[in-house]
Amino acid sequence: MAEVTVSINSRMFQVACANGEEAQVLRLAEDLSARVSDVRREGSKASDSHMLVLVGLTLCSELRDLQRDIDAVKDDINKAETSREALSQRLSQMEESIASAITDIAVQLEASQLGAATTPSEKS
């Protein structure tokens, strides 16, 4: 287990993390500290703990919005998959219809060629 010292709102905190995760924890702490600074710049005179609650609520709101976006994308993917399946079935039906039409045309051509070949001999 590793330990990292992070700075949030100019205050130092010791944070334990998994080995190899130190850089990620430092980046997250920088993001959190920047968000606290943004709230401070907006004129809030709240205490540190209140400030962290405000930032936490903001993060939760963003997370909820992102989850809604993910759910919407999943719905779009499901709809696209359903449409793709329907189009695939329709394409198969069209291919079968075209193949059947080509077979019918070939039979008709063959019959007309046979008919044309027998017609002159019938005239004799």
DSSP string, the chain: -EEEEEEETTEEEEEEE-TT-HHHHHHHHHHHHHHHHHHHHTT----HHHHHHHHHHHHHHHHHHHHHHHHHHHHHHHHHHHHHHHHHHHHHHHHHHHHHHHHHHHHHHHHHHHHHHHHHHHH-
pLDDT per residue as tens digits for the range 67-94: 999 999 999 999 999 999 999 999 999 9
The reply to whether the predicted model has a pTM over 0.75 is: no
